[in-house]
Each structure stands twice: as C-alpha cells, then as structure tokens.
Structure 1
C-alpha cells in the first residue's frame, strides 16, 4: 500500500483528534488497521497525557504531585484503552470511511491467521490420535 505520511506537526494535530487533509486518507486507514494499531493508539494517548506533567508544578509534597500524575495516567489509560476501538472507528469516520471498516479489515486479517492456526491445531491432534 502506498501512502503519504504526515509530518510531525500534522501527526501531533492528528494525535489530539484533528482531521488530516485528504491526501493522508490512506495513511489514516493503514494507521488504524495495521497489526500495530493498539501500539499506535497508545502512542497517540501518551501525547494527550503530556500536560499531566504540569501537575508537578502544583505546590505540595513531591510524593503527592507524582501520585496525581500517576492517578491521571492510570485513569486516562483505563478509559482510553477501554474505548480504543470506538476511538479508531470515529477517526476513520472523520476521514470519510464507512462505519465498521476498521473492524471488518482486522477481522478479515485475523480470519486468515485463525484458519492457519486451526489447520495446524487439527493436524497436530489428528497425528497424535493415530
């Protein structure tokens, strides 16, 4: 697949929820359906959490300030990872793709892998029973 990647400034805009121009549509589709889509989602979320480090500037004990940052990260990661499929779906829709495309692409890719695993599993157990 041939696509044009966004520059770092555009990627930051995309990471915080912005839309990219149409010339990046194929990259957005690849970004949200590649085998590394979970890691890519995690990277975008980490960009959103960088302002949490400003909590270290709040007056008070250092342990309390680090605890606030840790609590912010834990809560944010929990919710962002809980809704990552929905967030990816929304990004695809925002870039003009139909609803459900990301799930369909991932399921089709997994189907081929599953079929291969099932075949290996069945042949292994068939050989053991003979």
Structure 2
C-alpha cells in the first residue's frame, strides 16, 4: 500500500510512516529505481531554496544564491545517499544494512519477494 500525497511529503522530509506502510518503505529503498526515488525526496527538501528569490536585492545575486544552495544540496545528498536511505530504514524498524543486503543479494525480479519476506519478519 502506497502512502497518500500528504503522508509521502511527510516521509520525504524525514518523517516516519505508520507500520502499515513498512513494506512500501522497504520496497522504496531497495527497488531498482531507489536512486531516482531518493532524488525525488531530495527535490522536496531542496524546494526551500526557492525562498531565496524573495530576498531583496539584485536578481543576479538571488539566482546565484539559489543555484549555489541547490548545487550544494544535490552534492551532499548524492554523497550520503546510501547512508540516508539506511537511516530511513532504521527509523521504520528495520536493522541497519538491510537495504544494501537486499540490493546486493538479489536479482531485480526477486527484490519485491525479499522485501515482503523481510517486512513480515521485522514487523512489530
């Protein structure tokens, strides 16, 4: 079961979802598109940089502040992507390193099955 838009926004900014969504969280962090999903979550957090456009001053200064902030956000987000995903799993009750284990040990077709198995095992 997928979370609705408001729950997903809460999840994207670092919130913990209810236990009913544990299987989806595990799938979200272990599927073959996990990198793109991480980037989508980062875009939500990086949208805060748009507030820089409201700062009074020359447009060139505001745009350069916006670009610098966005580029730094993307750089650090990509640098610590695996750690951020692991922390998100731990917040949802899974053991550390589970996301890497599933991605390394399984073929693409087996990931959903393994995620369901781990979710059933670690469900509270």
Shared fold (TM-score greater than 0.5)? yes
Question: Which TM-score band applies after superposition, normalised by the shorter structure?
Answer: 0.7 to 0.9
Picking from 7, 22, 47, the partner of 1:10 is 7
Picking from 23, 26, 45, the partner of 2:23 is 26
Q: Normalising by structure 2, what TM-score?
A: 0.84
* Correspondence list, 1:80-119, <5 A: 80-109=77-106
CA deviation vs aligned residue, 1:11-40 (integer Å, no higher than 9, x gap): 000000000000000000000001000000
Aligned to 1:61: 58
Structure 1: give runs of 5+ residues left out of the alignment. Answer: 113-130
- Tell which structure's C-alpha radius of gyration is larger: 1
How many residues were matched structurally?
109
- Larger mean CA deviation between 103-112 and 47-56 belongs to 103-112
Structure 2: give runs of 5+ residues left out of the alignment. Answer: 110-124
Q: Which has the higher contact order (CA 8 A, sep 6+)?
A: 2
Q: Normalising by structure 1, what TM-score?
A: 0.81
